Structure 1
Amino acid sequence: MADACSTTVNHPEPPIQSIKLSRNAFAVALRHGRGAAVMHVQEHGLDGVEDLVLAACLENQCYDRQCEGSRAAWMFGFYEGTPAYGRFAEAILAAMSQSTDDYDGDQQRELASLMGRDGDLEAAAALRAHVWGQTFSADRVLGAGAIRDLDGLPAIVEIARRLGKVLQQDSGAWVDTLDYLVNDTFPFDDVFAELKRVATGDAAVASYVGKEEAERIASNNRPDWSNEDPAASAKRRGEEFMRKNPVDAILAASSRKSLGRGQFMQFGRWASEEDLNRILDRLRVENEPEACEKLLCVFRKRPLPCLDDRVWALASHSSADVRNAAAVALSHTSDPRVRKLALERLNDPGFSSDYSEELDLFKNNYQPGDETLILAALERQTVDGDEAHYLASSAIGVCRSVDSPVLAGVAEWVYRTNPCGICRQQVVEKLQEWGCLPPHIAAECRHDALEDLRKLMQGQS
């Protein structure tokens, strides 16, 4: 296995090391959340990059802000205990005072909480003023988690009191649930017991507790599928979906504008062979690009009934979305014609992130040596953001399908290039599994912005 790894890591870009990064390289590593940015500051301080780090404190730079989790603690580590602390704190608190309901404001509030818990009385006071000074309504409480982490259970009680006042005005108002407010920080039953104790002498808290109890009763009356066998659960959900979305409804939906693609992919998972053939029949006569793309999405996770000439034609369509969707549909089949198309597309100098899903053609048509072509095509790209993510997602799919350490170079390209921490974790796990994780990447991962990736490196030498 080691030999296989050693033949795939020779690429023109030198591997990331714990050395001083250029300003541009630091900016990329910081935005991506890679540990190289932390290692740079540990060795060389904030000189020349302080403005970049401050900007990343004020703006949440996660690629997938919902799935990757908070970066606040990671960002705090860049300036905590440094001579620049005062400048950072002043700017963050000023921005927080004007913040709204968005990911940037959430990060600023979390940073203020961290600073307050670290002994910064000004930051603690500013966060309290910001949270308690807002108008409580049926909208989300801004800074609920941040003030909870700063002040503990009393903060949860006070939020419940203020939301209870909202409910006193409108008993049907939607307010943050106790599950959301607690978020595993404290034992839920202990918090609920405390709220019920306070509620005996506080009408507003009693209103909030009443809402919670009503929701718990309603939840208990709902069917409990938690112990259902996974296969049975999937079958039940599939049957329910197909009852609501028969093939005629899917064919009609393909002609409607602005409808998501998820419905078509879900249909493809559960459709019968007869249904799939009806979708293919429509594709043979459909000319509207958006409708073609939607119908092709039926075959995103499900093989085509046959390698139809119409799908081959759509694989060369002028619309990149249609062309990609057709390539994915073809990729499930192992066939010399599909392999030939894969080689042609990656050898084409015009290959780019616009056609990223053409990499999928190798999933079931890979042959030894193709990794060199794939890596060369990836290395030709100058990409970041969405473009890098699209290419990397398809590259990860190939790595998983082929599942061989000869793809280590492709996995390393994903690590270096992809702005998404979750994708970065996936390729690091694959490199570990193959026994090909380079020491410099392992060292970086110990300082990654993604908590799960840091945990993955625990115990690794």
Structure 2
Amino acid sequence: MKKSEFRQLLANGCGSALIFLKNCPSPMDYARQIEYCCTHNTCFDMQCEGDRADYLFEAICLTGQESCFLESIMRRLENERNLDDWECQQMISILVLYRRKGYSGAAEFLDRLFERKLKELSTGKMHPDRCRRDGFENLCTVLSDEDESYFVRTVKNVGKYLTEYPNSDMFSLEYFYMRFLRDKGKEYSRKLLKDVPREYVKAFDNAFYDPEHFLFRRYPKNKPEKRPRPSFDHLMECLNGDEDIGKKQLTTRLFAKSADEADLKRLAELMLSEKDGEKQLIMFGAFIFRPFPLDSGKLFSMYDSGSEELREKLFYVMCKISDNEELVKKYAAKELSKLPDNADSELMAAALDAYVSKAKGEDVKYLLSILENVNFDEYQLHMLYRDIEKAFRRYPTRRAKEILAYIYSRMSCTFCRYYVIKAMSKCRCLSDSILEEACYDANPDTRAYAKKLLARRK
């Protein structure tokens, strides 16, 4: 395998990269590519995906030369001025895995890093930049998960600093503190702090304890009562009244889900003749949930005269109709032809949904031609992949095999790749080879899902 190809697969968190290393006679030939992915942020969106420490550490172990990578990671982390917060988090997490495996050098380095941060704080040298502050919080969180003494040391030292500088707002440790209290229990956490001066704990509490924090919210066990289904007259009263647009949209949705065919037809006729554009859009929303009950040809006459917002809803309504399928694809293709120039992403998503809802075997080639021949940037391509995957999950068909396999092989986001695999399963076109790769994917949910399906097939 070319080194550039391997680096891309590893950067994308693909299971095929680890399978290649397992079978490679000289995995250290790819050491530079592994080191790069360990010391840089290669995720499409780490906020959604999380770091890839476990996956990358597995790649390191497959080389049999763990010590070489340990030195490189510590050296890179030592000079953190040019690193972003996600890169720091990933490397710290990898070093923790080294620590668990008995590498004393990793444990000593993490402790030195922690002490250096505390010293910077106590001497007023902690840089106020947000990423550096968040890096400090992440270091405290990760180390406290490994060793509770780091929790005590953090509260003691930061509490002391806050006692001396009560107006400091240089850092944030709410997540670190509330997460530890949630996981260990408040009473147990207080016992750990029994030898810390009370004024330090109090200062820490005043700065970072939030009883209304999302981790501590308590939700009622009993489900709320179901909303009453509105009648046609109640819906008309709401649409013509002074309620806000959100209330009108909710009432329309509730009406659509329970209305009989006669009332739906009455609403459709009113919607077609409605002159108020905003009210017409709200009424249109009913037919996203229920098929349009009149001749669908009347919908297409609204396409050219309608606003982008109306056309967006129109495409979602088209998904539900069972006639004029070729006409639906024609209008959807007309909208998709604007990609990527002058394209509204939400409108494109609706057009894709409409096209895929009527797609046949030969239409997969058209969708592939869109992906292969249009010059998308990374974000547009990611959104397009996601919209196609969502559409095929709504309208599963084995004909989706080629397009979903294409998307799977190029998806750089592990979070979305998980849903591509689920879409392939729903379309009954998920091969054993992809499942075997998925067992080594960077996303733990993907691994668990693939192993479960493979076990069922055996």
The answer, yes or no, to whether TM exceeds 0.5 is yes
Equivalent residue, structure 2, for 1:91:
72
Q: Structure 2: which amino acid aligns with 1:188?
A: G
Question: Is contact 1:65–1:103 with CA below 8 Å preserved after alignment?
Answer: yes
Q: State the Cα deviation string for residues 96-144 of structure 1 (Å, max 9, x = none).
A: 1232661111112212222223222222222222223124479442412
In 2, Cα distance between the equivalents of 1:392 and 1:338? 23
The change in CA–CA distance for 1:46 and 1:300 in structure 2 (over 3 A counts) is farther
Report the secondary structure of 1:312's partner residue.
Answer: coil
Equivalent residue, structure 1, for 2:395:
402
Question: Is contact 1:156–1:181 with CA below 8 Å preserved after alignment?
Answer: no
For residues 55-204 of structure 1, what are the structure 2 equivalents within 5 Å? Answer: 55-80=36-61, 82=63, 84-99=65-80, 102-134=85-117, 135-136=120-121, 139-140=133-134, 141-150=137-146, 152-168=147-163, 169-170=165-166, 175-177=173-175, 180-182=178-180, 187-189=184-186, 191-199=188-196, 201-204=197-200
Picking from 373, 378, 396, the partner of 1:385 is: 378
Question: Is contact 2:333–2:355 with CA below 8 Å preserved after alignment?
Answer: no
Report the secondary structure of 1:49's partner residue.
Answer: helix
Question: Is contact 1:314–1:326 with CA below 8 Å preserved after alignment?
Answer: yes
Q: Structure 2: which amino acid aligns with 1:208?
A: F
Question: Is contact 1:393–1:423 with CA below 8 Å preserved after alignment?
Answer: yes
Is the radius of gyration larger for structure 1 or structure 2? 2
For residues 444-455 of structure 1, what are the structure 2 equivalents within 5 Å? Answer: 444-455=437-448
Q: Structure 1: which amino acid aligns with 2:441?
A: D
Question: 1:23 aligned to 2:3?
Answer: yes
Q: State the Cα deviation string for residues 318-351 of structure 1 (Å, max 9, x = none).
A: xxxx59x944652333456675253465499957
The structural deviation recorded for 1:408 is 2.8
For residues 355-370 of structure 1, what are the structure 2 equivalents within 5 Å? Answer: 357=349, 358-366=351-359, 370=363
In 1, Cα distance between the equivalents of 2:375 and 2:2? 17
- Percent of pairs identical after alignment? 17
The change in CA–CA distance for 1:177 and 1:145 in structure 2 (over 3 A counts) is closer
Question: Is contact 1:359–1:394 with CA below 8 Å preserved after alignment?
Answer: yes
The change in CA–CA distance for 1:350 and 1:46 in structure 2 (over 3 A counts) is farther
Q: Relative contact order, CA 8 A, sep 6+: which one is greater? A: 1
- What are structure 1's unaligned runs of at least 5 residues? 1-20, 236-245, 251-265, 285-294, 316-321
Equivalent residue, structure 2, for 1:16:
none
Question: Is contact 1:35–1:445 with CA below 8 Å preserved after alignment?
Answer: yes
Report the secondary structure of 1:458's partner residue.
Answer: helix
The structural deviation recorded for 1:77 is 1.6
Picking from 420, 425, 436, the partner of 1:427 is: 420
- How many pairs does the alignment contain? 391
Q: State the Cα deviation string for residues 356-393 of structure 1 (Å, max 9, x = none).
A: 53322225444565445434544556767323312211
Picking from 191, 201, 205, the partner of 1:205 is: 201
Equivalent residue, structure 1, for 2:263:
none
In 1, Cα distance between the equivalents of 2:373 and 2:103? 48
The structural deviation recorded for 1:94 is 2.1
Equivalent residue, structure 2, for 1:254:
none
Q: Quick check: which one's helix share is greater?
A: 2
- What is the TM-score when the length of structure 1 is the normalising length? 0.69
Which stretch of the first structure deviates more once superposed, 91-100 or 131-140? 131-140
Question: Is contact 1:96–1:108 with CA below 8 Å preserved after alignment?
Answer: yes
The change in CA–CA distance for 1:368 and 1:457 in structure 2 (over 3 A counts) is closer
In 2, Cα distance between the equivalents of 1:384 and 1:24? 20
Q: Structure 2: which amino acid aligns with 1:175?
A: L
In 1, Cα distance between the equivalents of 2:287 and 2:112? 51
The structural deviation recorded for 1:426 is 1.4
Question: Is contact 2:28–2:63 with CA below 8 Å preserved after alignment?
Answer: no
In 1, Cα distance between the equivalents of 2:242 and 2:303? 19
The change in CA–CA distance for 1:430 and 1:196 in structure 2 (over 3 A counts) is same
Report the secondary structure of 1:80's partner residue.
Answer: helix
CA RMSD of aligned residues (A): 4.5
In 2, Cα distance between the equivalents of 1:46 and 1:439? 25
Equivalent residue, structure 1, for 2:411:
418
The change in CA–CA distance for 1:226 and 1:26 in structure 2 (over 3 A counts) is farther
Report the secondary structure of 1:436's partner residue.
Answer: coil
- What are structure 2's unaligned runs of at least 5 residues? 230-240, 254-266, 293-297
